[in-house]
Structure 1
Amino acid sequence: MQRLIPTAEPTRPVAFADASQPVPEPDEALIKVEAFAPNRGETFLLERPRPQWLPGKDIAGLVVQAAADGSGPGVGTRVVGHPPQGGWAEYAAVPTHSLAVLPDGVDSVRAAALPLAGITALRLLRTAGSLTGRRVLLTGASGGVGHYVTELAVGAGAELTAVTATPARGARLAALGARVVHDVAAAQGPFDVVLESTGGPNLPVALSKVRPGGLLVWFGQASRTPATLDFFDLLNGPERVTIQHFHYAGAPYGDDLAALVSLVEQDRLHPEIGRTEDWARTAETLVDLRERRIRGKAVLLTGGGR
């Protein structure tokens, strides 16, 4: 079979290679991949790829071999999956606890755009707690996670302010009901909850927007610049603010994937697909994703996708 492997070349970060078809573990199903969606974080990992690392965590496709232990969906079932790695290939072995069945109304393109960003958004909002009537600030809002957080938070009754780099990137979020600004300093606080994903100099500014007793959840560093917090600035800022680190990881993922699929099927969640390409153009797409030339998610088709 064919799979994409890292090259460590910035202008062409992946290349095709011949590979053996994966041999699933007893609790894994073998999936014929129809579509996959890279994440911007993966583009950073491709700059200095780890030995033996195979990229690919967000896929949709068809079960061609069920798990030997009897768990998970049977042969012929359409699924969305979140494997630990190796999804940019014709076939992928995926733990059954990281699969969800796709109904007829959800196509492979939208499904592939769900896993990492969607699971992150769901778990991030659970960390934030009840949002009905609460004021929420979201930085770095124009990516895949930001889109899902915005739609889910507004749907839950939050008054959400989204920070995006440009008006074009904020237009879709405004249509979803967010108040959009283009600089953290321009956000009109105080906020009950701040969801901070950029790091660097934005984090202390975002922290200053939290109400006394409020919560800041730090879930990313998209700026790739370390953040510095001055203790004395904290003394002069809002009192008793909680700063909480967040990372989405922690299997099983199947229940969260099923919840996301259900929301899409009910027309309550709408993946933003900024680009759909044949996987022959994966390298170029990864560069554009890394350089923020794609709004929302990019999805690559291996062939036979719906």
Structure 2
Amino acid sequence: MQAFTRTDGRDPLVVFTDRELPNPEPNQALVGVAAYSVNRSEIYALQKPVPDIPGEDIAGQVIVGAADGTGPRPGQRIVAHLPSGGWARYAAVNTADLAVLPDYIAYSVAAALPLDGITAIRLSRIAGRLISRRVLITGGSGRAANYFIELAAGAGAEVTVVSATPEQGRRFIELGADMVIADASSAAGTFDLVLDSAGGTSVPSVLAHLAPNGTLIWLRNASHEPVPLDLFTRPDNAKIRYFDRTDLTPPFGPDLTTLVALVATGRLHPEIGRLKDWAATPSILAELRDRRIVGSAVLTLSQGLKHALALDLTPGSGPGRSAHLG
């Protein structure tokens, strides 16, 4: 089968190669990939010797159901989050880490959901009850933060977002934010929940705006600056938590099912900044690395499902053999 595999860390970061068809474990379905999204975190993973075939977020169609009888049947459309192997015509996917996709949600839309959507869902669980709570978000340009803004606003929170540009600010208002400010220091009043991904010198500023019994969730240090933090000055009973999105634990299927339902009911709107044929993956990676893409970068496989549905599954030609595959 055709797949993108990593190079030596120099441009291009990935190249087309021929690989064996995945041989699924009993709890895995063989999926014909129709679309996948590319995450910035995957660029850093490409500097490592494994995995050979990258790719975490895919949408496609089940070609062979799991041998243990779990998960969807052949022919059903799915969206999935997997450790690796998604940038290929076929992928082996744990049935616990996928969700069935209705016909009216496009593969390209679904492929933009998994990593950032799962992150937003799990942040919402940490945040707890959001109705009538005041929420401050810094570094909100990330896709996970955008999903969280929409979820929090839909749950009845009053959301303030720090934005570096008017264009971003308008997008946050469209997602449901009540107020957009240029700097965290100009925030008015205190907040029950603060999500900070800017890091650096912004952390003491947002901590000063945390209400007693409030929670500060620290996502990352996008500024790459040291954090001058004095824990003795935090508000009474305030909690500070670090959320590591690189350490999300499975199963992912239940969260993906929730995300699909939110999209289906119009409560979540994935933003696609690039939609290209998968042959453009190397150039898309360069654009992501240089921060030239706003929203999700989604690649679609030309003739992908046509190849998959024509897969010869007669004895001796099933998973593990690749003679009949494009």
- What TM-score range do you get, normalising by the shorter chain? over 0.9
Mapping for residues 1-306 of structure 1, pairs under 5 Å: 1-46=1-46, 48-178=47-177, 179-223=179-223, 225=224, 227-231=226-230, 234-248=231-245, 249-304=248-303
Task: Flag the 1:239–1:103 CA change in 2: closer, same or farther, 3 A.
Answer: same
Q: Aligned pair in 2 of structure 1 residues 187, 43: CA closer, same or farther (>3 Å)? A: farther
Q: Is the 8 A contact 2:89 2:304 kept in 1?
A: no
Q: Deviations over 1:74-98 (max 9, x none)?
A: 1111000111111111111110000
Larger radius of gyration: 2
- Tell me the matched-pair count: 302
Whether the aligned pair in 2 keeps the contact of 1:98 and 1:254 (CA below 8 Å) is yes
Say if 1:193 and 1:70 are closer, same or farther in 2 by CA, change over 3 A.
same
Q: Could you tell me how far apart the structure 1 residues matched to 2:84 and 2:165 are?
A: 33
* Equivalent pair of 2:200/2:228 in contact (CA under 8 Å): no
- Matched residue type, 1:214: G
* Structure 1 residue ranges without an equivalent (≥5): none
Return the offset for 1:259: 0.8
Is contact 2:60–2:77 with CA below 8 Å preserved after alignment? yes
Return the offset for 1:296: 1.1
From the superposition, tell whether residues 176 and 29 of structure 1 become closer, same or farther in structure 2 (CA, over 3 Å): same
Tell me which amino acid in the other structure corresponds to 1:42: E
- Between the aligned partners of 2:169 and 2:285, the Cα distance in structure 1 is 22
Q: What's the CA shift for 1:175?
A: 1.5
Secondary structure of the residue that 1:172 maps to in structure 2?
Answer: helix
- Identity fraction in percent: 49
SS at match of 1:119: helix
- 1:171: Cα distance to partner? 1.7
Checking the alignment, whether the CA contact within 8 Å between 1:278 and 1:302 is kept in structure 2 is yes
Tell me, in whole angstroms, the C-alpha distance in 2 between the residues paired with 1:282 and 1:168. 27
Q: CA deviation at 1:18?
A: 1.3
* Separation of aligned partners in 2, 1:277 and 1:56: 16
CA contact (8 A) 1:211 1:241 kept: yes
- Paired with 2:233 and 2:143, the residues of 1 have a C-alpha distance of 34
Superposition CA RMSD, Å: 1.8
Aligned residue identity for 2:206: A
The two structures have a TM-score, normalised by structure 1, of 0.93
Q: Distance in 2 between matches of 1:211 and 1:56?
A: 40
